[in-house]
Amino acid sequence: MSQPAPLDPSPKLDLSPLSVPDLLCTSAMTTRDIERVFAVARTLKAGRTVHTDVLRHKRLAMIFEKDSLRTRFTFDIGMQDLGGSAVFMDHRDARLGSRESVKDVAKNLERWVHGIVARTFKHKVLEELAMHTGIPVINGLSDFVHPCQALSDFFTLSEKWGSVKGRTLTYVGDGNNTCHALIHTAVKLGTNIRVCSPEGYEPNARVVNEAMRVAQETGTEVTILNDPDAAADGADAIYTDVWASMGQEDEIEERNGIFAAYQVDEEMMARAKQGALFMHCLPAHRGWEVTQEVMDGPQSVVYDIAENRLHVQKAVLALLIR
């Protein structure tokens, strides 16, 4: 009796270049780019002990102006998993451009490393880095947009649902960087997105207008509203984030009052579809933007998302670094 053929221990990866040299915002990516990131992430996740030579002898610079748990660990571990190494640069006390120009930092780094991950306050700093270097620059979070988070969010949804096309994601809370990234990514993938914020805290109008133009091509809907009940009604997933982002600590008390009616609780989840997922990019404040019952309940996929930051970012690294 013939023996079955052994399984290929190292599934092949399509690592041909994306249409973009950097990852600053998913708005610059094509739908195919995003789908390729997901395909590579699935393969890497399935074979965690293989593909250790994809980025062998490659080095990544990690420049952080803000605190981080998930972004720092997952990019560092991701480079190690792929055979490379990472060097951490703490810029929390001296932001990029203060001691040395952003251009000079970029020009120096491209002589030593093969890619840069930067977590900055100002988005234009990332754009400057990308402008002045020939190596890929990856946005680890800026005050404008958080693309790696949104890619991980939608990768997780694709795992849970099979397809995100035609589904409805509701984001409740501040129209911040995570919200902007979700809007850009949703319309690329054919997901309807509703954003519900208090008046005056809606997402950036330029982001919304650009997404609406893309939505016309992909047949999706972008809805901005202020009524949490209407936003939650029939949604496939409900997403929230902290009410005060990093750099807004002096606004916490004021924002807690303004956003109190936008807390994701069991009543809000009950308005969504049966079995709707709860999402949060973390860190979370139980009892503020989300109740403990929802955060730690059976509909919550927050830790699945956190795990998938590793796999999605490994895919991004593998596809961008040469």
Please give the pLDDT value at position 231.
Answer: 98
Whether 314 and 279 map to the same domain: the answer is no
- Active-site pick, 22, 36, 81, 149: 149
Whether 214 and 300 map to the same domain: the answer is yes
Bridge partners (DSSP) of residue 87 are 61
> What is d(CA 266, CA 63) in angstroms, rounded to the nearest whole number?
39
Q: What is the CATH number of the domain that holds 250?
A: 3.40.50.1370
Question: Each residue of 291-311: pLDDT tens digit?
Answer: 999 999 999 999 999 999 999
- Residue 14 is among the residues annotated as catalytic for this protein: no
> What is d(CA 223, CA 87) in angstroms, rounded to the nearest whole number?
41
- Residue 81 is among the residues annotated as catalytic for this protein: no
Whether 301 and 153 map to the same domain: the answer is yes
Domain contains 204:
yes
Q: 56: helix, coil or strand?
A: coil
Question: Each residue of 30-50: pLDDT tens digit?
Answer: 999 999 999 999 999 998 778
pTM given for the model = 0.95
Domain contains 186:
yes
- Residue 3 is among the residues annotated as catalytic for this protein: no
- Residue 281 is among the residues annotated as catalytic for this protein: yes
8-17, 92-101, 157-166: which range is least confident on average? 8-17
Q: Which domain holds residue 232?
A: 149-305
Please give the pLDDT value at position 4.
Answer: 46
Alpha carbons within 13 A on the beta-carbon side of 178: 22
Q: Is the pLDDT of residue 8 over 70?
A: no
Whether 116 and 202 map to the same domain: the answer is no
Q: Token digits for 196?
A: 């519900």
- Residue 271 is among the residues annotated as catalytic for this protein: no
Whether 122 and 49 map to the same domain: the answer is yes
Q: Compute φ and ψ for 268, nearest 5 degrees.
A: -65, -45
* Angstrom distances, CA of residue 196 to CA of 170, 252, 290: 8, 19, 15
Distance of CA 103 to the CA centre of its chain: 26
Where do we find the tokens 């030579």? Answer: 53
- Active-site pick, 70, 119, 123, 180: 119
- Residue 146 is among the residues annotated as catalytic for this protein: yes
* Number of domains forming the structure of the chain: 2
